[in-house]
Structure 1
Amino acid sequence: MMNPSPKTSISAENAYIASCVIITMMSRPDFVEKQVLCLESTDAKRLSFRNSNLVLTDENGKIALQHSCHKIFVVFIRGEFTITSALLKNAKRFCIPLVFLNYSLRAYLVFNAGTEGNFLLRKMQYSCKYETEIAKHVITNKICNQLRLMQSIRYKTKSEKVSVQTMQDLLKSAQSVRSSQDLLGIEGTASKLFFQTYFKNMGFKGRKPRIKSDMYNVLLDIGYTYLFQFIEANLNLYGFDTYCGFYHKLFFQRKSLVCDIIEPFRCIIDRRLRTSYNLKQIREDDFACSQNRFELKRDSAKKYTELFLRTVLEHKEDIFLYVQSYYRAFIKKKEIRQYPVFDIGGVE
């Protein structure tokens, strides 16, 4: 038997790419109908599956919630629950991710149920030759959104005006950078300047991920967690290897691609935090401090879950369309200018 010609192989590959784009994609109308569930162990204790429904029952077997699996996109579960094997089996069947959170709203276990057989996409991820160009596109998008938020501050001081100008210079530098390492330095400088300027009136002392040195860092961790898991659920619709990024490099147990795609969207959590502070929705007595480490009190977690999760869901179509467009651009090897951009705007 003769081997297929290179032309035939290319045609077959293109046909496979086209089929991937058509078959694995959830439509926008279907996505709009999907809902996010956030369950608290204080409301009930047992999760199970019954007649294509997710069922939440209390200790006496009384149904507290019943929701069709056809309309669930992701489930956040906080606290201690009993789950059944049938639940996991059907979560897999209906492609519903289950995100388990501790009482401080930190994710400790994620049961993913996405598309795992898109081998061509994963092969392309690991053989990508233009990672730096994609990274530049995404990080300049992030810096641009940070700049927009800084520009939205009313009655700027002289130092704030200088910071805005410096941020504009950093944006130009990011657009012309030649290596990921140089881009990393510019992004770090831009983020530091952004936090110093945008959260100046809050007494914010700087972003320190996971250290929980103050209540604002705690809240940013919580907001970013919900955003991270929602973006991961969108990436799993298409079968991406979420551990293979283009900016955050391979590192053991780090979902580098999610870390990459989240960057332009972090600003929605940043804006929510500042707005909540101005509206006096953040209360110091919602937090406990031990050995200079802040923790959210159990009875306050629901309040901030609603605050940040609502913010993420306000942008759920933006996130869906961004990931969908990114998938199409990547799988079809489009030019960088055809990759998606998320614009937060400057209005608070």
Structure 2
Amino acid sequence: MLSEPNFAARKIVMIHANQGEKMTFSNDNLVIKNKAGKIILQYTCHRIFIIYIVGGFSVTTGLIERGRRFGISFVFLTGGYKFYESIPYKSRGNTMLVRRQYNTDIDFEISQIIVKNKILNQKKALQSLRNNNDGVELLNNSILKLNEPIRNLSTLMGIEGTAAKVYFNRIFNIVDWKGRQPRVKRDITNLLLDIGYTVLFNYIDALVSMYGFDTYKGNLHQEFYNRKSLICDLVEPFRIIIDCKIRKMYNLRQISEENFICQKGRYMVNYQSSINYGTEFAREINRHSICIFRYIQGYYRWFMTSDDINKMPIVEVIKNDID
């Protein structure tokens, strides 16, 4: 497991194989070249945490060996930034931790804290905007409901859903927002949310895997075949990192319809786009890396040593200038 100073020195690397970029290793350095063969990045493997590879790519034994040697996780995305595989660097055999995951009797209490933490961060995001007192007050009402006894998951998810509608309608009030629809890609904003959440999800997955959790055993999100329910849980308080980044990009006029293609009502990023949106999201996540690390580390330590739900860590995502 990485210490905080060690983790702070590690960065995200994103390679766009769909744009002709190629990756090689020279001694203990990662070298990335563009389509013309010019070196665009050379970075020591000792300071890489995760590598995202966008587009078709051949995996070699050398790649896997270096991942294990330097503690690097690899995530493979399609040209449209859809996840299709990962090779996480993970701790194996933490049987005590996995046993606690399956034997805990406070799943619902953990779920309630996660939802409350998510709404608290959504509230802070709205507080950073102008003329959103009504939205803040509505989220306060949701938080108050979470302080009361809740008997079932459907009630909890109802509170979360109501808060999400309030939040999204205000955080994206600068665009023609019609509602959040995951994976449908009905508009540019929903597409960018899907891309950003995918990058964020796999970043947290790589970090959680280092501790040896069974990432398929969740609390808030129930177990479905081949779904990493625990990562779905732990990503919730951090979603505002992506939301606020997208809003800021709109305000800075970094998002242009010319960078996207719409086919049969579904939007996708133009490969020749003037901006690599995945890279932008990776940089934003890097800015919050210590905040994320401390939360996951704190969650692990709490889960291993305590059943006191009142001591479960709460994360306050570092405020961004989102206006």
| TM-score (norm. length: structure 2) | 0.91
Aligned to 1:193: 166
Q: Distance in 2 between matches of 1:208 and 1:84?
A: 37
Q: Relative to structure 1, is the Cα distance of residues 155 and 113 closer, same or farther in structure 2, using a 3 angstrom cutoff? A: closer
Q: Deviations over 1:283-308 (max 9, x none)?
A: 01111111111111112285312321
Q: Distance in 2 between matches of 1:155 and 1:182?
A: 30
| 2:11 counterpart letter in structure 1 | Q
Pairwise mapping of residues 123-142 of structure 1 onto structure 2 (< 5 A)?
Answer: 123-142=99-118
Q: Is structure 2 residue 242 aligned with structure 1 residue 269?
A: yes
Aligned-pair distance for 1:61? 8.2
Q: Is structure 2 residue 142 aligned with structure 1 residue 170?
A: yes
1:181 to 154, 159, 164: 154
Conservation of the 8 A alpha-carbon contact between 2:115 and 2:160: yes
| 2:141 counterpart letter in structure 1 | D
Q: Relative to structure 1, is the Cα distance of residues 265 and 232 closer, same or farther in structure 2, using a 3 angstrom cutoff? A: same
| 2:163 counterpart letter in structure 1 | A
Conservation of the 8 A alpha-carbon contact between 1:35 and 1:72: yes
Q: Is structure 2 residue 27 aligned with structure 1 residue 75?
A: no
- Equivalenced residue count is 319
| 2:99 counterpart letter in structure 1 | K
Pairwise mapping of residues 7-18 of structure 1 onto structure 2 (< 5 A)?
Answer: none
Q: Relative to structure 1, is the Cα distance of residues 286 and 59 closer, same or farther in structure 2, using a 3 angstrom cutoff? A: closer
Q: Distance in 2 between matches of 1:182 and 1:290?
A: 38
Aligned to 1:317: 290
Aligned-pair distance for 1:140? 0.2
Q: Distance in 1 between matches of 2:30 and 2:58?
A: 13
Aligned-pair distance for 1:94? 2.7
Pairwise mapping of residues 15-26 of structure 1 onto structure 2 (< 5 A)?
Answer: 25-26=1-2
Q: Distance in 1 between matches of 2:255 and 2:177?
A: 14
Q: Relative to structure 1, is the Cα distance of residues 154 and 58 closer, same or farther in structure 2, using a 3 angstrom cutoff? A: closer
Q: Distance in 2 between matches of 1:222 and 1:66?
A: 26
Q: Distance in 2 between matches of 1:279 and 1:69?
A: 33
2:311 to 330, 338, 346: 338
Q: Is structure 2 residue 7 aligned with structure 1 residue 27?
A: no
Secondary structure, aligned partner of 1:300: coil
1:44 to 9, 21, 34: 21
Secondary structure, aligned partner of 1:288: strand
| 2:190 counterpart letter in structure 1 | N
Q: Relative to structure 1, is the Cα distance of residues 207 and 227 closer, same or farther in structure 2, using a 3 angstrom cutoff? A: same
1:227 to 194, 197, 200: 200
Q: Distance in 2 between matches of 1:135 and 1:226?
A: 23
Secondary structure, aligned partner of 2:186: coil
Secondary structure, aligned partner of 1:207: coil
| 1:69 counterpart letter in structure 2 | C
| 1:124 counterpart letter in structure 2 | R
Aligned to 2:231: 258
Residue segments in structure 1 that go unaligned for 5+ positions in a row: 1-24
Q: Distance in 2 between matches of 1:271 and 1:60?
A: 35
| TM-score (norm. length: structure 1) | 0.85
Secondary structure, aligned partner of 2:80: coil
Aligned-pair distance for 1:57? 5.8
Q: Deviations over 1:253-286 (max 9, x none)?
A: 1111110001000011111111111121110111
Aligned to 1:97: 73
Which has the greater radius of gyration?
1
| 2:109 counterpart letter in structure 1 | E
Q: Distance in 2 between matches of 1:301 and 1:339?
A: 43
Decide which moves more: 222-231 or 93-102: 93-102
Secondary structure, aligned partner of 1:299: coil
Q: Distance in 2 between matches of 1:255 and 1:326?
A: 17
Residue segments in structure 2 that go unaligned for 5+ positions in a row: none
